[in-house]
């Protein structure tokens, strides 16, 4: 009888942990959705400038900011992202939106399959669809059409992928290491077009 009672208590404890984990994730997702709505509302009441094209310098800026914020881990990255979008709510610019979007999309990429146990809020903030939705809602609130905003996000993501690929050193075959014809004076960071 005692063993049955202990078994029931253990089962209830396991179920309780599962339930609280889902509740924490749901609360984090709800908080992220609320933040997105507030960002969109703050941008919509401004008189944003005319739509400007995506610039390579914005992508580089967002990635550079991620490298700085990554030192603080996921919580630091989330705080930077929130502050970035908060700044858009106070004074919108297309350059800043693209920096914020690049930061988030690069953070999503870096989070990937890593173990983020205990960081429910941060993980919810940087879920791919949540981060993309934040960027899209801000762009639409600033006057971009939904279709154009979606294309802008696709272009931004493609530039992030291209930039990531250019940062990784290519392996050099052993027989060309001392070959002067294969040497290059070009800066690999200048590969991305703007």
Number of helices (H) and strands (E), helices first, in the chain?
7, 0
- Distance (Å, whole) CA 85 – CA 89: 6
Q: How far is CA 19 from the centre of its chain?
A: 28
The DSSP secondary structure of 177-189, one letter per residue, reads: TT-GGG-----GG
Whether residue 34 is contained in a domain is answered as: yes
DSSP string across 135-161:
HHHHHHHTT--HHHHHHHHHHHHHHHH
Token reading at 1: 């009888």
Domain assignment present for 4 = no
Mean pLDDT across the stretch 17-23? 42
Q: Give CA–CA dist 14/78, Å, rounded.
A: 30
Q: Does residue 81 lie within any of the structural domains? A: yes
Query: Has residue 185 been placed in a domain?
Result: no
Residue-range definition of the domain harbouring residue 103: 19-166
Tokens of 119: 């960081």
| Domain presence at residue 181 | no
Q: Is residue 190 one of the residues assigned to a domain?
A: no
Q: How many structural domains is the chain composed of? A: 1
Question: pTM of the full predicted structure?
Answer: 0.70
In a domain, 3, yes or no: no
Which residues contact residue 185 at a Cβ distance below 8 angstroms, ignoring those fewer than 6 apart? Answer: none
| 1 part of a folded domain | no
Q: Which of 12-16, 71-75, 130-134 comes out lowest in average pLDDT?
A: 12-16
137: pLDDT confidence band, cut at 50, 70 and 90? very high
| SS3 per-residue string spanning 55-94 | CHHHHHHHHHHHHHHHHHHHHHHHHHHHHHHHHHHHCCCH
Model pLDDT for residues 138-163, shown as the tens digit of each residue: 999 999 999 999 999 999 999 999 98
Q: At what angle do helices 146-167 and 128-141 cross, to 10 degrees?
A: 130
Residues in the chain: 194
The pLDDT score that the predictor gives to residue 164 is 78
């Amino acid at each position: 009888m005692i063993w049955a009672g202990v078994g029931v208590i253990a089962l209830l404890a396991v179920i309780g942990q599962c339930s609280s984990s889902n509740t924490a994730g749901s609360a984090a997702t709800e908080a992220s959705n609320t933040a997105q709505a507030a960002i969109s509302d703050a941008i919509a009441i401004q008189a944003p400038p005319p739509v400007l094209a995506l610039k390579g310098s914005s992508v580089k800026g967002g990635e550079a900011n991620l490298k700085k914020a990554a030192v603080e881990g996921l919580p630091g990255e989330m705080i930077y992202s929130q502050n970035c979008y908060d700044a858009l709510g106070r004074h919108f610019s297309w350059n800043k939106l693209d920096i914020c979007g690049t930061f988030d999309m690069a953070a999503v990429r870096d989070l990937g399959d890593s173990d983020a146990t205990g960081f429910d809020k941060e993980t919810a903030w940087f879920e791919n669809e949540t981060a993309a939705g934040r960027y899209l809602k801000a762009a639409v609130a600033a006057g971009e059409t939904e279709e154009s905003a979606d294309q802008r996000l696709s272009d931004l993501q493609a530039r992030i992928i291209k930039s990531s690929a250019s940062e990784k050193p290519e392996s050099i075959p052993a027989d060309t290491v001392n070959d002067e014809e294969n040497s290059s004076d070009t800066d690999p960071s200048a590969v991305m077009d703007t």
